[in-house]
Structure 1
Amino acid sequence: MPRACAQPGDLIDVTLGELHPTQAVLGFDQVFYKLGRYGSDRDEAAGDVNKRFDDWCETNGQEEAASAGPGARLDDPSSFSCTVPVGQETAETVAPMKTAVIGPGGKLYLTDGHHTLTSFLEGPDGSPRMHIRLRVTDNFSALSPAAFWQRMTAEKKVWLRDENNRPLGVEQLPDRLGITHFRDDPYRSLVYFTRDIGYEVPDGATEFLEFSWGSWLRGEHDTAAYDLTAPGPYLDLVKRASKSMAALAPDAVVDDGKTAAQLGRIDEWNGGKKETGGEFAKLGKPLSDPKPGKLAEALDYKARVLPLPACTTTVTGPRNGPLVVTGGVTCLDRAAQRGPVVVRPGAALVVTGSTVDGPLQADRATAVHLCGSRVGGPVVVSRSTGPVRIGGPGCTANTVQGPVVVQ
């Protein structure tokens, strides 16, 4: 069935690479938890199926994984099975599916599931070619691009705020999935960890519910005052934030006219249990526990992500001609570099979400980071005196037309 003909309620098979985000930020720590869990063998060691198969089956409208033997991969659905076969879905199994809107030209705009699908893409067997089914909520394909975005904005199907909660335009939205293409909003991660402690996702939850909570929490708690790489301070922040959420009156306005009750404010903090029990206790379990908490798994993965050096020169948008980096840290951020790139000794290069029409060569660079980008030629990095990252944790895989040589 042509995408432009899909109607609300239809389930459509898509690839991750053809989806267009409707938000510019993610809570990276939520994704890091998923990736830490997906890359662990803890589930298999306990005789269970790795969580990524359960998550894929649920997202695909098939409840949970039934089996996944050795060698099973998400990018090969024939290598594992789900409890509900395709064609036998029920209203209950379809409800957790992620959603999309059909836009002009039949383009697919993801309105729910940015964290989940980014985790699939960045996972051990992820790629833009991975298939998943989505539930269509609206078909706006007959609208012009301008009218489409007006409709999406009016119906609150797009989140046009940046990582600092400042307004942004639709032209600033990422053009594809991948953690490199998003900005990190620590308040969005914070809200994720308060789930079932300070709030519960209500039935019929609206899109971007967690961002609304995050907007409110900005005025209550300063994430910069906490070390979000250490479990103790992070857990303390979660406790304080979730207690603030639970203490709100049901009719208190949280964000954009939505009340605490509408956003799922929990009746009793931590389900009425003490700190040593309930979801809060589960969240705080260390990595050494047989069932570590989400926070420990997130921070363990986060520790593997190399930090980016501070940019001294930033290039965005189109740039014509060869680029020679002779010193400092040059960053190509969503840039279209039309020409080769050469990094001289003592200089550093960071390329994120960009295209380079030509080869990339670096010799004795202090750092080279290449994430979520497309390079139309070989990549050669030799004798680097600092970190070299070409894909890997927190760095979306690249497309390179030619060999990649690091020596």
Structure 2
Amino acid sequence: MLSLRDTFLLCIYSCVPLLATFSSAEKITYDKLSNGDVITVTLDQLLPTQPVLSFDKEFAKLNRYHEDLKSMFNDLCKANGAKGIKKWNEESQPTDASSYNCIDKPGTHTNDLSTVVIGPKAGTLYLTKGHHTLSTFWDMPNGGTSVPVMVKIAHNLHETGEDFWPEMNNDKEVWLFNTKGEKIKAKELPEYIGQKQLKHDKYLSLVYFLKDISYSSPQKKDKKKGTSNGSSIPFLELNWALEIRKHMKISDYDLNVLDEYAAALAEAATVMVDLPDDTIVGKSERTAKEMGKLSLVDSKALAALINDKKSDFNHALAYRIAVKEKSTPKRLLEEEAAEKEKEKQEKENMDENNSNNGIEISELETTKPD
């Protein structure tokens, strides 16, 4: 028996023909789409192929949108392969693509589009690239399930039947590890994107911030253009997150406190660069060197990330704290602040006592009898 969602999707995919970019006049059905074709969908049509997100990567974007609405429309244009925002106004809405204009025609820059695989069940669409970007559009206050986006067909597997998930796994198009680093089954994947269903992998947030600080992203080359085009390694960041959790405990840090989050980043960065070059990272089947490990932590870049108020790190932290304050009763926040102040005072008193004791001992050691 079909679920409500399956019935809904069956109607969409079987009854309503969509337009492919190669011919704006040609009506086609999903089973006729080929690799590289571009279609327009709404966010609620997309099924995730991973159970986790870096919430902080999304928080950074959401805080920027809160401070500058233009950046949201700019990201919408980029995500739709249209380079950037050209014209918008206070009446423009993410759910209405006709209410704003991009620099280029949507779908022009296909490498910027999120990608999907067409599944065997009622032509379902499995998102394989763009989980963070599209989840941000889902979760932003003026976004939601009906935000239209253009996506590119990576593979059409509508005829694979029971071989669908083995093929997806073989092609490294699905990530089946939860926030504890434990293996899950494909049927345990969430039904929708967004933070209400995808869970926060805090180690993934560390990896997100540490790019070009303790690792760099190996680039794949476009032979025709001679340029790089994204990472050449599937699930690069997720595999690094899986590896880091073996060597540190994120629970040792309060990520709502800047100094503690900074300390967590410093430890994670050190863990990464200290790995032997031939260490296999996570489930990647690749060595740390192949996964972009740097020989040393770029301490200047790390300091800039932490100290620059306009960095993604500080945008994420600001939004994270705002979310906590909004969801936590005022009384509990006051009690927490008082407890932290008490701990701080006790530490200062202890340091002062240790310092005084050191002086007394030093004086005793250096004083000679008459």
Q: TM-score higher than 0.5 here?
A: yes
* Cα distance in 2, alignment partners of residues 177 and 26 from structure 1: 9
Deviations 1:26-76 (A, max 9, x none): 1222222221121223xx6xxxxx322222222211222233333332222
* Cα distance in 2, alignment partners of residues 201 and 305 from structure 1: 31
SS for the counterpart of 1:233 is helix
**Displacement of 1:303 after TM fit?**
2.2
| Residue of 283, 290, 293 corresponding to 1:265 | 293
| Residue of 41, 66, 81 corresponding to 2:86 | 66
Runs of 5+ in structure 1 lacking a partner?
A: 45-49, 310-366, 368-385, 387-407
Using the aligned pairs only, state the percent identity: 32
Q: Counterpart amino acid of 2:50? A: Q
* Cα distance in 1, alignment partners of residues 295 and 119 from structure 2: 39
* Cα distance in 2, alignment partners of residues 138 and 108 from structure 1: 10
Deviates more, 1:72-81 or 1:159-168: 72-81
Report runs of 4+ in structure 1 exceeding 4 Å deviation.
Answer: 247-251, 306-309
* Cα distance in 1, alignment partners of residues 100 and 266 from structure 2: 38
Residue of structure 2 equivalent to 1:301: 319
Q: Does 1:33 align with 2:51?
A: no
| Residue of 171, 189, 192 corresponding to 1:176 | 192
Contact 1:202–1:263 (Cα < 8 Å) also in 2: yes
Residue of structure 1 equivalent to 2:241: 214
* Cα distance in 2, alignment partners of residues 269 and 10 from structure 1: 41
Residue of structure 1 equivalent to 2:139: 122
- Which residues in structure 2 correspond to 1:4-403 (within 5 Å)? 4-41=31-68, 50-86=70-106, 89=108, 93-104=109-120, 105-144=122-161, 146-204=162-220, 205=231, 206-248=233-275, 250-256=277-283, 257-266=285-294, 269-270=297-298, 274-275=299-300, 278=301, 280-285=302-307, 289=309, 292-305=310-323
Q: Counterpart amino acid of 1:168? A: I
Question: TM-score of the superposition, structure 1-length normalised?
Answer: 0.66
* Cα distance in 1, alignment partners of residues 290 and 58 from structure 2: 25
Q: Counterpart amino acid of 1:200? A: S
* Cα distance in 2, alignment partners of residues 227 and 169 from structure 1: 31
SS for the counterpart of 2:307 is coil
Q: Counterpart amino acid of 2:197? A: H
SS for the counterpart of 2:196 is helix
* Cα distance in 1, alignment partners of residues 82 and 140 from structure 2: 20
* Cα distance in 2, alignment partners of residues 243 and 176 from structure 1: 35
* Cα distance in 1, alignment partners of residues 273 and 83 from structure 2: 30
**Displacement of 1:250 after TM fit?**
4.7
* Cα distance in 1, alignment partners of residues 78 and 287 from structure 2: 29
Question: TM-score of the superposition, structure 2-length normalised?
Answer: 0.72
* Cα distance in 2, alignment partners of residues 118 and 259 from structure 1: 30
**Displacement of 1:267 after TM fit?**
5.9
**Displacement of 1:7 after TM fit?**
1.2
Q: Which has the higher helix share?
A: 2
Q: Which structure is larger by alpha-carbon Rg, 1 or 2?
A: 2
For the aligned residue pairs, the C-alpha RMSD in angstroms reads: 2.6
The 3 A distance-change label for structure 1 pair 67 and 235 is: farther
Q: Which has the higher strand share?
A: 1
SS for the counterpart of 1:305 is helix
**Displacement of 1:268 after TM fit?**
5.3
* Cα distance in 2, alignment partners of residues 133 and 196 from structure 1: 30
Contact 2:77–2:106 (Cα < 8 Å) also in 1: no
Contact 1:231–1:295 (Cα < 8 Å) also in 2: no
SS for the counterpart of 1:70 is coil
The 3 A distance-change label for structure 1 pair 185 and 86 is: closer
* Cα distance in 2, alignment partners of residues 251 and 217 from structure 1: 15
